[in-house]
Chain A
């Protein structure tokens, strides 16, 4: 018996193939628009700021005169705050994820916890700034310091780090865990020798993505009291500080054209920092996933 008539099949086949082609073209248009916009942005910024970007710019402090102003304080501030904040979020976030995935039973409490972590990832960053101001700056008495800024950033990216790490742990097949247990390994041995090494590359990627997001955050740090004019480098965790995006924002909002140019140069510095950070991530990811094969 013939369920599908041959002639109709042929007609439909042409139509099906055409639909596929149309979809492909739409995808190409999407990527062109997306990448095109980014390229435009990069070209614009580079055109505006590249000629201002020199060694002098990197090692100078802000100034009233755009030609003398530099980004040293802000660059160092960003490295301090993001480095420390990222490290804190890594330790707390990965620990939380390991507990939730490997140890916690599937109880009502853990499900409530799970939903709330997902919600926290969507809370506007300025709210974290207010929280940081109240808890770290005022209550804990840390003042408007690098440490308070780092802790605020850590809080901000913590939910993302937790969720990314959880996904990485979930991706480790349960047959690996069973294999370990069946050989008489303890929970800690299964988790530390089998599960974490296999998930580590993905965990790292998640952390770096979270940190990349945090590097451009301005609002929470402004709220918690980062300065906008810092003619010195942070000299420790209790030092006042500023970060790149705040410095850029400050320059952009000045009326003089000279400041707009160095703002563009600042953006280039921010982007290069970001690219360097991502390269490190790709390198580490590659290294860890290679270890697994050997």
Chain B
């Protein structure tokens, strides 16, 4: 197996909220067409890191990000870059499904519309829904409210919505934590399918999920006053079978709560 191309490089990323440090000097590479999972206990900066990749942290006034995120050879934190454009290239799926209070169709069409898409919207909506394996369930009620869908369907709608703007990277922040096991399975299946075309970074609390879906795993942890440390990063198989660090082993075997 050849090593995949690197699509995103995190270089010495630190994040502060006000005077509070949440992420400490994190560096690692994300492979193209891979699923990279980020695991670790609550409050160790996993979501913060994910939100650094598409500059969503810019929306929090007190957040300060230092270091570089290299995407296509360019640091996305360059002052002249518009975060709107970065977010256009990286889709994001949130912990809680957050469909807009509009029709299923309009939810999908939102991203392309705001970006100025002028092609065949019906076709794009259908393709996006098909990619997220939701088309068969909703094709007869595209004009119905998205809020009428079940939680699992809503989350797949949010994935379809993200796919509609044709991003290269999909960032997922605990996408299954609000879902039942069957919906979770559907989304995991979907991720395996999607990684053929996209690079996926997923934050998860579910270790089995990380083991099931990801190629690489990054383990984060707090050690005393040192918050948000990247303890270990590598092939998922290796992290879960022979971790190099004792902390990693303790965490994945459940010796910490």
Contact = CB atoms under 8 A, between A and B. Distances in A.
Contacts of A44: none
A179 B114 contact: no
Nearest to A188: B114
Given A175-B96, A293-B147, A184 B101 contact: no
A292 B91 contact: no
A294 B103 CA distance: 6
A189 B114 contact: yes
B103 A183 contact: no
Given A175-B96, A178-B59, A294-B143, A183 B110 contact: yes
Interface residues of B, number: 31
A90 B56 CA distance: 33
A193 interface: yes
Contacts of B91: 182-183
A275 B256 CA distance: 64
Interface in A174-229: 175-186, 189, 193-194, 198
Given A178-B59, A294-B143, A294-B145, A185 B98 contact: no
B94 interface: yes
A56 interface: no
A74 B88 CA distance: 57
A198 B84 CA distance: 22
Nearest to B146: A293
B98 A105 contact: no
Contact of B87 (A177, A183, A293): A183
Interface in B159-182: 161-162, 165
A99 to B, nearest CB: 16
B84 A182 contact: no
Contacts of B96: 175
Interface in A266-294: 292-294
B143 A185 contact: no
Q: Which of B85, B102, B147 has the most CB of A within 10 A?
A: B102
Contact of A186 (B84, B89, B158, B162): B84
A44 to B, nearest CB: 45
B36 interface: no
A106 interface: yes
Interface in B36-70: 54, 56, 59, 61
Given A178-B94, A184-B111, A193-B110, A293 B84 contact: no
A182 B87 contact: yes
Contacts, number: 73
A177 B56 CA distance: 11
B98 A184 contact: no
A194 B88 CA distance: 17
A183 B161 contact: yes
A89 to B, nearest CB: 27
Interface in A153-192: 173, 175-186, 189
B200 to A, nearest CB: 15
B94 A175 contact: yes
Contacts of B114: 180, 183-186, 189, 193
Please indicate which of the listed interface residues A175, A179, A180 has the most CB atoms of chain B within 10 Å of its own CB: A179
A108 to B, nearest CB: 14
Contact of A184 (B87, B94, B143, B145): B87
Contacts of B143: 294
Interface string B76-89: 00000000110111
A193 to B, nearest CB: 7
B92 interface: yes
Contacts of A186: 84, 114
A6 to B, nearest CB: 36
A184 B54 CA distance: 10
Nearest to B162: A183
Nearest to A105: B61
A28 to B, nearest CB: 36
B101 A178 contact: no
Nearest to B86: A184
Contacts of B165: 183-184
Given A105-B61, A178-B56, A292-B102, A185 B145 contact: no
Contacts of B103: 294
Given A185-B111, A293-B145, 8 more contacts: A181-B87, A182-B92, A183-B165, A184-B88, A184-B114, A186-B114, A293-B101, A294-B143
27 contacts: A106-B61, A176-B98, A176-B100, A178-B94, A178-B98, A179-B98, A179-B100, A179-B161, A180-B100, A180-B110, A180-B114, A181-B56, A181-B84, A181-B87, A182-B91, A182-B94, A183-B88, A184-B88, A184-B114, A184-B165, A185-B84, A185-B110, A186-B114, A193-B114, A194-B100, A198-B101, A294-B143
Interface of A: 105-106, 173, 175-186, 189, 193-194, 198, 292-294
Nearest 6 interchain pairs by C-beta: A184-B88, A182-B92, A183-B111, A175-B98, A185-B114, A292-B101
